[in-house]
Amino acid sequence: MESKYKTPGQLLNALLEQKGWTKRVLAIVLDMSEGAVNKLASDKQKFTAEIAISLEEVLGESADLFVELQKSLDLSVARIKAIPNPGQATRAHLFSELPISEMIKRGWLHADNIKDVKNIEIGLCSFFEANQINEIEILPHAAKKTKVALGTTSVQLAWLYRVKQISAEIIAPKYSTRSVTAAIEKLKPLRISAEATRKVPRILAEAGIRFVIVESLPSAKIDGVCMWLDEFSPVVGMSLRFDRIDNFWFVLRHELEHILCEHGKNKINIDTELSELRANSEENINEEEREANSAASEFMVPIKRIDSFIARKAPAFSERDLIGFSRTIGVHPGLVVGQLQYKSNRYNIFRNHLVKVREYVCPSAVVDGWGTVAPINHQENYS
């Protein structure tokens, strides 16, 4: 009977017909008014749990079925009465795809809290440069304004937007391939210590490169990005996801190679999980990323030199040998350790040399995160 009847009233009428009862008879049996029974039979009165149990006792049909049919009827009526609200679906998508609370906390959205929906939506439109909420490009049917690699997540795109906003505020001299090549040569002596990284932002700025450090967002797994504000305005964004000297230099040189090769002008490729992907397999990495990885590795420690060192000393690498080799090639031991770990697949060795750099590089850089909010000169229509 469950598949035949759409409402509890239909079921009641069928059961009465089977028994040969009139509604008056049922009213007498249940000790209720005939009018109340008529309302039940015509679905004008709800079948409560108590009524369903009474009907189960006298008609022999499960009370559960009456209750389920009533629920189904209530839902159908509600759907008919409901006013379509496409804004709810849009809001649900944005709130599920973006770390709204974190964006408020970081000062990216000017709202009191997660419940301040009006200002959150205004802020998201401003942040993603959209005229209205349904034009924000992370939404499935919205136009895609930013050309990014396939697989870029909404969280990663939000981070990229922040890098773009901040870098657009920076005034930098004219860039050229020659200026970047010269900057890389100036960076080489800085590999000797963590403290020397404080000079990196100035060298990049003088080369016409806008250098921005933006703390990553939860689950984004971003290392860095090379992007272009226009044909002659390259940007290097870094997250310092791993605060280690080897990771800092690898990611930075990786992004500088992208600039030298003018990668990212047609499509932005956010570099995520560089260390993890490189450790697992170089075979699955595209040609642009292979070129950047190779340049970064060569910058950290010349490949021929590290290969020779490994051939002579493996498998027993000593602290003394590590320090001596690092001094010979003029780099911090942490850079050698980074390459040594990668090439030997032994990521537990000499970890004490993987020193932190954020405390040195951030004070002289444009930074957004870790309690600092980079100033952005745009106005939002808040009320």
Q: Which of 130-139, 145-154, 254-263 has the lowest mean pLDDT?
A: 145-154
Query: Do the beta carbons of residue 122 and residue 381 sit within 8 Å?
Result: yes
Q: Residue 368: which H helix or E strand, with range?
A: strand 366-368
**Residue 204 to residues 195, 211, 251, Cα–Cα distance (Å):** 17, 7, 14
Whole-number Å distance between alpha carbons of 333 and 355: 9
pLDDT (tens digit per residue) in 7-21: 999 999 999 999 999
Beta strands (DSSP E) in 151-301 are 210-214, 222-228, 234-238, 271-272
Residue pLDDT, tens place only, 95-112? 999 999 999 999 999 999
What pLDDT, on a 0 to 100 scale, did the predictor assign at position 371? 96
**Which pTM value belongs to this model?**
0.81
Note the pLDDT of residue 132.
Answer: 93
- Residue ranges of domains in the chain, CATH in brackets: 8-81 (1.10.260.40), 86-145 (no CATH), 170-368 (no CATH)
What string of DSSP letters covers 271-304? EESHHHHHHH-STTS-HHHHHHHHHHHHHHS-HH
Of 115-124, 176-185, 297-306, 369-378, which range is least confident? 369-378
Could you give the CA distance from residue 223 to residue 292 in angstroms, rounded to a whole number?
13
Phi and psi at 228, nearest 5°, equal -130, 125
Task: Give CB contacts under 8 A, 24+ apart, made by 19-27.
Answer: 19/59, 26/58
Answer whether 119's CB lies under 8 Å from 382's CB: yes
Q: Which residue has the tokens 């942040």?
A: 127
Q: How far apart, in whole angstroms, are the C-alpha atoms of residue 237 and residue 270?
A: 9
- Which pLDDT tens digit goes with each residue over 316-364? 889 999 999 999 999 999 999 999 998 888 889 999 999 999 999 999 9
> Quick check: 225 pLDDT over 70?
yes
What pLDDT is stored for residue 1 in this prediction?
A: 45
pLDDT of residue 378: 55
Beta pairing class for 234-238 and 271-272: unpaired
**DSSP readout, 92-131?**
HHHHHHS-HHHHHHTTSS--SSTT-HHHHHHHHHHHTT-S
Query: Is-contact 35 41, C-beta < 8 A?
Result: no
* pLDDT given for residue 133 in this prediction: 93
Q: Is the pLDDT of residue 83 over 80?
A: no
Residue 120 and residue 117: Cα distance in Å, rounded?
5
User: How far, in Å, CA of 118 to CA of 87, rounded?
Assistant: 12
Residues 91/92/98/104 CA torsion (nearest 10 deg): 50
Q: Which residues make beta-bridge pairs with 222?
A: 272
Which segment of 39-53, 177-191, 365-379 scores lowest on mean pLDDT?
365-379
Q: Which residue has the higher pLDDT, 185 or 145?
A: 185
